[in-house]
């Protein structure tokens, strides 16, 4: 069984995000980048399926600038077999639908039995790509997976929902998006990092896939969240209630 995993290059979650002075975008100059944490969980799950003898090949794909090769090599070091990089411009921002359409073209070429994505990326936080990909490909989907089990040509996905846990059974091929509690990703060992440099990585452009992307979304302005104001003391309950009414406007 071939497993396809999508990974995304994002700002490292330990880095404090800064906005450009002209408020046109987030400042990425000299900022540490990393694999999206949810994508890392997706890679780990695919590698575990291979170690269990369920998956025969794990293919990782990323859509972004040429520098995204770094994150693909990281995924290869974690145990993936080969990578595909669909290159875009350094400053090109893709929407969730554009990413889903590009992944649809890759899925059409690779024909995997299982597609695993992170449920969302920590930069745009949209939580849309997996669902859109499932709709475009006409495949069943299991989102927010905290447990994945494959048997008899079907995948059982335990999902985290508002009321607790829900288990659904999907026919393969299918799309699954990973949640935080699905697994704990491993650390890449030095020998595996060295081996990853020799693993195959195919580079393609959007034109190679026959894709022309148009967007109807324009970013007007990017601003940081307002700074949190300091607290204050009140002399009585009546004064507290009055401040909650007039200043905080929560009652």
User: Residue 153 and residue 149: Cα distance in Å, rounded?
Assistant: 11
pLDDT at res. 228 = 81
In 3D space, the residue among 176, 136, 184, 174 whose CA is nearest the CA of residue 160 turns out to be 176
In a domain, 231, yes or no: no
In the predicted model, what is the mean pLDDT of residues 90-109?
91
In the predicted model, what is the mean pLDDT of residues 154-163?
92
Which tokens hold the place of 247? 């200043």
Q: Which domain holds residue 52?
A: 2-224
In a domain, 6, yes or no: yes
In a domain, 155, yes or no: yes
In the chain, how many domains are there? 1
In the predicted model, what is the mean pLDDT of residues 15-28?
89
Q: Residue 28: pLDDT above 90?
A: no
Q: Which of 111-125, 142-156, 175-189, 209-223 has the lowest mean pLDDT?
A: 209-223
Q: 242 CB contacts (<8 Å, ≥6 apart)?
A: none
pTM of the model as a whole: 0.87
In a domain, 237, yes or no: no
Q: Residue 187: pLDDT above 80?
A: yes
In a domain, 230, yes or no: no
Q: Which CATH number do you get for residue 209?
A: 3.40.50.620
In a domain, 236, yes or no: no
Q: Residue 218: pLDDT above 90?
A: no
In a domain, 233, yes or no: no
In the predicted model, what is the mean pLDDT of residues 70-94?
93
Average pLDDT, the chain: 93
In a domain, 77, yes or no: yes
């Amino acid at each position: 069984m071939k497993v396809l995993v999508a990974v995304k290059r994002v700002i490292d979650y330990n880095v404090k995000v800064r906005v450009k002075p002209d408020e046109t975008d987030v400042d990425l100059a000299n900022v540490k980048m990393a694999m999206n944490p949810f994508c890392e969980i997706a890679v780990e799950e695919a590698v575990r399926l291979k170690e269990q003898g369920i998956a025969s090949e794990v293919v990782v794909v990323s859509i972004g600038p040429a520098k995204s090769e770094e994150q693909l090599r990281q995924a290869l070091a974690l145990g993936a077999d080969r990578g595909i990089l669909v290159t875009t411009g350094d400053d090109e921002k893709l929407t969730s639908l554009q990413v889903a359409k590009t992944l649809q073209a890759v899925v059409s070429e690779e024909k995997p039995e299982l597609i695993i994505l992170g449920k969302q990326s920590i930069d745009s936080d949209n939580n849309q790509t997996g669902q859109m990909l499932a709709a475009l490909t006409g495949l069943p989907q299991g989102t927010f997976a905290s447990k994945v089990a494959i048997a008899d040509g079907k995948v059982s996905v335990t999902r985290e929902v508002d009321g607790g846990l829900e288990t659904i059974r999907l026919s393969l091929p299918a799309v699954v998006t990973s949640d935080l509690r699905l697994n704990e990703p491993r650390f890449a060992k030095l020998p595996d990092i060295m081996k990853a440099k020799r693993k195959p990585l195919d580079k393609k452009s959007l034109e190679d896939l026959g894709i022309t992307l148009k967007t109807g979304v324009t970013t007007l302005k990017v601003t940081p969240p307002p700074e949190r104001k300091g607290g204050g003391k009140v002399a009585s309950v009546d004064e507290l209630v009055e401040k909650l009414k007039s200043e905080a406007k929560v009652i």
